[in-house]
Amino acid sequence: MNSMKIAIAGIHTGIGKTIASAVIAQALEADYWKPVQAGLEERDAALLKTLLTNGEQRVHPEALLLTQPLSPHAAAKIDGITVDHTTFVWPVTNKTLIVETAGGILSPMSDTVTMADFMQHYKLPAILVSQNYLGSINHTLLSIEVLKSRKIPIIGIVMSGDTNESSEAYIETYSGVPIIARIPFLKNIDAVSVKEIAGNIKDGLLKYTTHVYH
C-alpha cells in the first residue's frame, strides 16, 4: 500500500466526499490531499486535520487555494489565476495518499479540464462516492461509464448516507463494480465517529484496494 494514490470521486456535489475521504484515510492510515480548494471559510483540509488521528502530519496543503466558494474554474477567473493541473506539486509521503476531487466526475477543474481529465492525466485509480436519491442510479452509472471509457481504474463504490438495497443491487449488477463500503450519515462529525466507521470498513477497503474494475 505504500505510496499508492487513490482519487476520491463523486457522482455529484454535496454527497459526502469529504467525510468519505476522512473515513477512508483513517481506515487505510493514509495521508490526505485536496489539490484545489475553492473558498477559504470551509477548507476541507482544515476539517480533515481535526478528524484524522495525527491530522496535522497527515493532511497536506492544497496545490491551489482559491478565495471564492464556487466551481474552481469560476473561482480561478475571479482570482485571476490560471489552473494548470499538470504543474501541481504533489505531496511527498511514503503513505497511501487520498486525493479528494471537487464536485462530480465531469465538474470543471479549469476552463478546459474536468476532474476526470485530472484523474486520467495522473493515472489515479478511483473510489466513487455515491448516495441514494431519486436519479442517483443514473448519476452513478454515468460516472462509471465515464471512468471506464477513460480507462480510469475503479476500486469500487462507497455509499454515503441511507441504504437502498434495490438501487444498490441494480448498480452493482449493471456496472459490475462492487460497493466496497457504506458510510452512514454522521450525527456528530468528529474524530471519534470517523475512527469508529473507519474500523468497521477497514477490512473491506484493504481487500478491494488490490482489485480494480476497468
Looking at the annotation, which residues are catalytic? 34
C-alpha cell at 166: 434495490
CA atoms within 13 A on the CB side of 41: 3
